[in-house]
């Protein structure tokens, strides 16, 4: 039953585009760190038997990642592009301990789900040049995995911050302008992230949770330093927002069928 | 929420199992072991910090701006292991380099003569 449910393709297609832009920014950030390590910074290899930072061609790595992200955004070879982005970021994390981050790991997991989500069935070059037989709907279960990953990310981000060090506000104070009430912000962050993580699962709380999520990410980008890193992370998270916003009722409702039929007609035209 | 009626085949059970694992794995990582941990769930949780300083011949102590010497000063990396030796040649006037790694409940310090 779960794996036979099908939904309209546009929400996950929108998510694919947001995800590809977020992935490109995340790869740009990673390429910057790799560049520093290859120039003059002290390295901390993960293991002697894994490739080191110096072994990776920065130009080739970034070109591959950039092309894969653009292809994914356009909906060309989307599964292969998503898997390429995942492999490239696993390689990056394997070279040096300084290149690991939860954001990068989150990116890799989402790549796996986007690779199987058939996110190129709408708003994609593939959808324009190749017509698929069938109802035009896409399987819902990969979208469930995307939303579950997002939910776990928010939930455990909140739980991991429920500690005296974070709640002291010192970390936020070190990242934000002086006028930001750091300790109050820290105390507010924990329940906010937990509420978003849990709120994605119930019909009545889904859309409020998404609005809270948008406010959270906008405030992070606006108040904390490193706008590139936090904008990239916001886009990776926002990639699953359309799936939550349009969380279906089962079996696929008439609006899903109508949207799929409209997309098939536009692809034929 | 998902209802139990949605899970009826082995494929459904596999997907449901992955969903459960997506929550169980970070929970185990979060609850078990020291924080911050290598490949752990940090997410700007404020655990741990690292600092370094060097001493000149006259006994003066100077703080090291770590971001000038490492690409990313992540708290879970055990910087005390090799960083002091690697910092020594970067400060020709240093007679000693000290790296301090502060984590909840522990304060790890390593000092090497240059």
pTM of the model: 0.92
pLDDT on residue A130: 83
Q: Tokens 């240093």 label which residue?
A: B94
Work out the angle between the directed axes of helices A227-238 and A141-161 (0-180°, nearest 10): 140
E-strand stretches of chain B: 49-55, 61-63, 96-103, 106-113
Instruction: Check if the beta carbon of residue A118 is closer than 8 Å to that of residue A9.
Output: yes
Which contiguous run of DSSP H or E holds residue B59? none
Lowest mean pLDDT among A6-10, A68-72, A247-251, B82-86: A247-251
Tens-place pLDDT, residues A15-72: 999 999 999 999 999 999 999 999 999 999 999 999 999 999 999 999 999 999 999 9
pLDDT exceeds cutoff 90 at A262: no
* Contact partners, residue B102, CB within 8 Å, separation at least 6: B48, B49, B50, B51, B108
Q: To the nearest whole angstrom, how far is the Cα of A224 from the nearest Cα of chain B?
A: 11
The string of pLDDT tens digits covering residues B20-70 is 999 999 888 877 777 788 878 778 887 788 999 999 999 999 999 999 999
pLDDT at B39: 79
CB nearest B6 (choices: A1, A152, A202): A1
Top-confidence residue, A115 or A174: A115
pLDDT for residue B31: 77
Provide the ipTM: 0.90
pLDDT (tens digit per residue) in B83-96: 999 999 999 999 99
Q: What is the pLDDT of residues A176-231, one digit of tens each?
A: 999 999 999 999 999 999 999 999 999 999 999 999 999 999 999 999 888 999 99
List, in sequence order, the alpha helices (H) in chain A.
10-39, 58-74, 78-95, 102-115, 125-129, 141-161, 164-167, 170-175, 182-199, 203-223, 227-238, 241-245, 254-268
pLDDT in tens, A114-125: 999 999 999 999
Test the B interface: residue of A32, A156, A197 with most B CBs within 10 Å = A156
**Per-domain boundaries in chain A:** 7-128+137-249
The confidence score (pLDDT) of residue B46 equals 75
Q: B21 is written with which tokens? A: 């694992």
> Which residue of chain A comes nearest to B86, CA vs CA?
A42
Interface test with B, best of A160, A204, A221 (most B CBs within 10 A): A160
């Amino acid at each position: 039953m779960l794996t036979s449910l099908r939904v309209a393709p546009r929400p996950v297609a929108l998510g694919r585009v947001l995800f590809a832009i977020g992935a490109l920014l995340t790869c740009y950030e990673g390429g910057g760190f790799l560049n520093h390590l290859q120039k003059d910074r002290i390295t901390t290899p993960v293991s002697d038997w894994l490739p080191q930072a110096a072994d990776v061609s920065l130009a080739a790595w970034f070109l591959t990642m950039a092309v894969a992200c653009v292809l994914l955004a356009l909906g060309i070879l989307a599964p292969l592009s998503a898997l390429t982005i995942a492999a490239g970021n696993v390689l990056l994390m394997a070279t040096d301990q300084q290149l690991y981050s939860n954001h990068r790991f989150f990116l890799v997991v989402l790549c796996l789900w986007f690779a199987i989500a058939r996110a190129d069935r709408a708003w994609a070059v593939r959808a324009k040049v190749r017509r698929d037989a069938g109802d035009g709907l896409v399987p819902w279960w990969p979208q469930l995995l995307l939303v579950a990953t997002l939910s776990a990310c928010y939930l455990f981000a909140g739980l991991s911050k429920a500690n005296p060090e974070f709640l002291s506000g010192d970390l936020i104070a070190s990242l934000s302008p002086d006028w930001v009430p750091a300790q109050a912000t820290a105390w507010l962050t924990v329940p906010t992230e937990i509420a978003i993580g849990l709120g994605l699962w119930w019909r009545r709380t889904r859309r409020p949770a998404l609005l809270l999520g948008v406010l959270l990410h906008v405030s992070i980008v606006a108040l904390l330093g490193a706008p590139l890193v936090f904008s990239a992370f916001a886009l990776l998270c926002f990639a699953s927002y359309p799936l939550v916003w349009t969380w279906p009722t089962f079996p696929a409702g008439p609006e899903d069928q109508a949207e799929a039929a409209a997309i098939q007609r536009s692809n034929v035209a | 929420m998902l209802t139990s009626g949605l899970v009826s085949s082995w494929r459904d059970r596999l997907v449901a199992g992955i969903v459960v694992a997506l929550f169980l794995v970070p929970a185990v990582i979060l609850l078990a072991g020291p924080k911050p941990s290598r490949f752990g769930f940090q997410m700007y949780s404020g655990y741990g910090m690292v600092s370094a300083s060097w001493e000149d011949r006259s006994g003066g102590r100077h703080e090291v701006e770590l971001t000038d010497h490492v690409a990313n000063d992540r708290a879970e990396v055990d910087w005390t292991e090799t960083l002091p030796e690697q910092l020594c040649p970067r400060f020709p006037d240093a007679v000693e380099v000290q790296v301090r790694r502060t984590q909840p409940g522990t304060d790890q310090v390593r000092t090497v003569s240059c």
